[in-house]
């Protein structure tokens, strides 16, 4: 069995990141890229469980980009109910099933961003930057010195122009979009959330992340960094 077909972990937790930011979350490698200690992450989630914020990790068949510490971030829902992040060949997804727990979810996102503060962060819209600023305002911590790094956080928008759609962007570099159960219609996320179709939203988010990764590898790096 290949490493890409290993079983996924579905674990719930809220308190982990705030208790372990100072821990050894990265493993040094021979390149400048540092990988998450995925085993340690799973162990932390196993120790502190509750049903408020759910955690899902999936290993995917995608080659990493050498010599670059990068992560791709993508939010789902309005209001936000899920965040997906791609690091190397791993996808992390955090989400809530009840908006009553949104504050816990938002605090967890801020702790996750602290861990990623020295990464190159990519998205395929300005939406992610706006969501993060909105999280600070929602929690009433926009002016807090503790979260100064979040206010200064810059996410690289991979769109060439406003409202560029992901499918045409992929076609422009002769790449296909990953299978998406929502057929690239993000407006359906809220409806599926209300109906409890969380697996569909998770699959949609993974499709977005993997498709954006193609844009990073085959368009952004070629046109900007190389």
Residues 6+ apart with CB under 8 A from 102: 79, 80, 81, 96, 138
Lowest mean pLDDT among 22-31, 78-87, 109-118, 163-172: 22-31
Question: What confidence tens digit (pLDDT) does each residue in 164-208 have?
Answer: 999 999 999 999 888 898 988 888 999 999 999 999 999 999 999
Radius of gyration of the chain (CA): 17
Length of the chain measured in residues: 226
What's the pLDDT at 155? 92
Centroid of chain to Cα 13: 16
Structure-model confidence comparison of residues 69 and 72, the more confident one: 72
Q: How many CB atoms lie within 10 A of CB 110?
A: 19
> pTM, whole model, 2 decimals?
0.80
pLDDT interval class at 58 (50, 70, 90): confident
Average pLDDT over residues 88-101: 90
Average pLDDT over residues 198-220: 94
């Amino acid at each position: 069995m290949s490493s890409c077909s290993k079983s996924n972990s579905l674990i719930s937790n809220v308190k982990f990141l705030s208790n372990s930011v100072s821990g050894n979350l990265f493993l040094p490698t021979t390149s400048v890229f540092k990988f998450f200690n995925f085993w340690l992450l799973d162990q932390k989630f196993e120790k502190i469980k509750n049903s408020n914020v759910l955690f899902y990790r999936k290993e995917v068949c995608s080659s990493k980009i050498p010599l670059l510490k990068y992560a791709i971030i993508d939010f789902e829902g309005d209001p936000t109910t899920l965040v997906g992040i791609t690091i190397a060949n791993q996808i992390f997804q955090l989400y809530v099933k009840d908006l009553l727990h949104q504050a816990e979810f938002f605090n967890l996102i801020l702790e996750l961003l602290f861990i990623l503060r020295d990464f190159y962060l990519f998205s395929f819209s300005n939406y992610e930057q706006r969501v993060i600023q909105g999280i600070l305002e929602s929690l009433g911590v926009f002016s807090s010195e503790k979260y100064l790094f979040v206010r200064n956080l810059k996410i690289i928008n991979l769109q060439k122009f406003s409202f560029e759609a992901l499918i045409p962007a992929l076609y422009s570099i002769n790449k296909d979009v990953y299978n998406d159960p929502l057929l690239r219609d993000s407006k359906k996320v809220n409806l599926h959330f209300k109906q409890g179709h969380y697996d569909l939203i998770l699959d949609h988010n993974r499709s977005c992340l993997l498709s954006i990764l193609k844009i990073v590898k085959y368009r952004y790096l070629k046109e900007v960094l190389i």
